[in-house]
């Protein structure tokens, strides 16, 4: 089973067949190290985010919910080449499991009327087989779709799991999957700004809080609300070790006049600042994994 399908943009779009009996992606990763999506976690090499029971999600595509039938798709017309939104390679892994491999298609991956110098074998339209590999050749091509070595996500049907590394690269494929982003609402942002410890500048407000900080606010509020009064009193001292100008001793409040200052406060509330024990170097943790004894 080897098929390459393309989703076409527009009102009359849909899936069309591009190739059959061609294995597009030769190497399927091993999805051994996986974790649920976390906005703040930075994946290590070999790690993947995973969505379990994917077919039950509102943003799952019909092609993944139903049995695959290649005869249901007509061949892609050349004139629609520029309207490709994403491609799906339907193939099997080494264990015979049906796997759907997705690649988002941006304009940079669609090449038109390009000339290339080839230093290896390439198909010649006029000649059956491949050209001589001993010398470079000039190749003229009208329309080319570039396939990346590492696609954007994998769906393993037998497991009903979607594996991916970058959520933003697949939000245009699975409409609604951005609900995995844990963004604070305007009301939640305002809740933070209304806290007694915050001194909000006149030129900064809810409408100026960008997505990265909105993703941190939910965690910050939940963590702060879980603190005892004693722990809450430690926050100014802790933050001041790393951001000495943020806390005003006179007013006993954090001065928030910009996105940068808000980021510093949120990093403090989420306890992302730390000092290495041996050489006492101050650092900021971009992602955190809890170490269990």
Rounded distance, CA 202 to CA 264, Å?
Answer: 18
pTM of the predicted structure, to 2 decimals: 0.69
**Which of 218, 147, 209 is CA-nearest to residue 179?**
218
Supply the pLDDT for residue 178: 85
Supply the pLDDT for residue 123: 56
Rounded distance, CA 114 to CA 126, Å?
Answer: 19
**Between the CA of residue 290 and those of 188, 218, 287, what are the distances in Å?**
26, 18, 10
Supply the pLDDT for residue 125: 46
Supply the pLDDT for residue 180: 87
> In this structure, are residues 170 and 151 in contact, taking their beta carbons and an 8 Å threshold?
no
Give Cβ neighbours of residue 126 (< 8 Å, ≥ 6 apart).
none
Which segments in the chain show pLDDT lower than 70? 111-114, 118-135, 138-139, 141-142, 292-293
Instruction: Kindly state the tokens that stand for 109.
Output: 């991956």
**Which of 91, 82, 65 is CA-nearest to residue 5?**
91
**Dihedral sign for Cα atoms in the order 86, 90, 93, 97:** positive
In sequence order, the β-bridge partners of residue 4 are 19, 89
- Tell me the domain boundaries of the chain: 3-113+144-180, 186-284
């Amino acid at each position: 089973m080897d098929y390459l399908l393309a989703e076409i943009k527009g009102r009359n779009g849909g899936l069309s067949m591009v190739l059959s009996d061609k294995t597009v992606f030769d190497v399927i990763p091993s999805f051994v190290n996986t974790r649920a999506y976390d906005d703040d976690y930075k994946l290590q090499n070999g790690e993947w985010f995973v969505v379990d029971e994917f077919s039950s999600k509102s943003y799952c595509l019909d092609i993944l919910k139903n049995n695959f039938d290649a005869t249901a798709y007509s061949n892609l017309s050349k004139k629609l080449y520029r309207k490709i939104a994403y491609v799906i390679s339907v193939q099997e892994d080494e264990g015979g499991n049906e796997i759907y491999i997705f690649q988002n298609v941006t304009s940079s991956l669609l090449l038109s009327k390009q000339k290339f110098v080839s230093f290896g074998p390439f198909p010649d339209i006029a000649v059956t087989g491949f050209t001589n590999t001993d010398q470079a050749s000039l190749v003229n091509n009208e329309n080319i779709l570039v396939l990346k070595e590492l696609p954007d996500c994998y769906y393993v049907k037998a497991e009903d799991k979607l594996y991916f590394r970058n959520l933003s690269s697949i939000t245009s494929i699975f409409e609604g999957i951005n609900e995995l982003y844990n963004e604070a609402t305007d009301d939640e942002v305002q809740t933070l700004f209304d806290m007694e410890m915050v001194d909000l500048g006149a030129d900064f407000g809810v409408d100026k809080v960008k997505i990265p900080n909105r993703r941190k606010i939910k965690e910050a509020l939940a963590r702060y609300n879980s603190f005892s009064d004693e722990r809450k009193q430690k926050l100014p001292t802790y933050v001041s070790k790393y951001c000495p100008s943020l806390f005003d001793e006179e007013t006993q409040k954090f001065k928030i006049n910009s996105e940068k200052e808000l980021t510093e406060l949120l990093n403090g509330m989420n306890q992302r600042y730390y000092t290495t024990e041996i050489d006492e170097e101050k650092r900021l943790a971009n992602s955190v994994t809890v170490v269990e004894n």
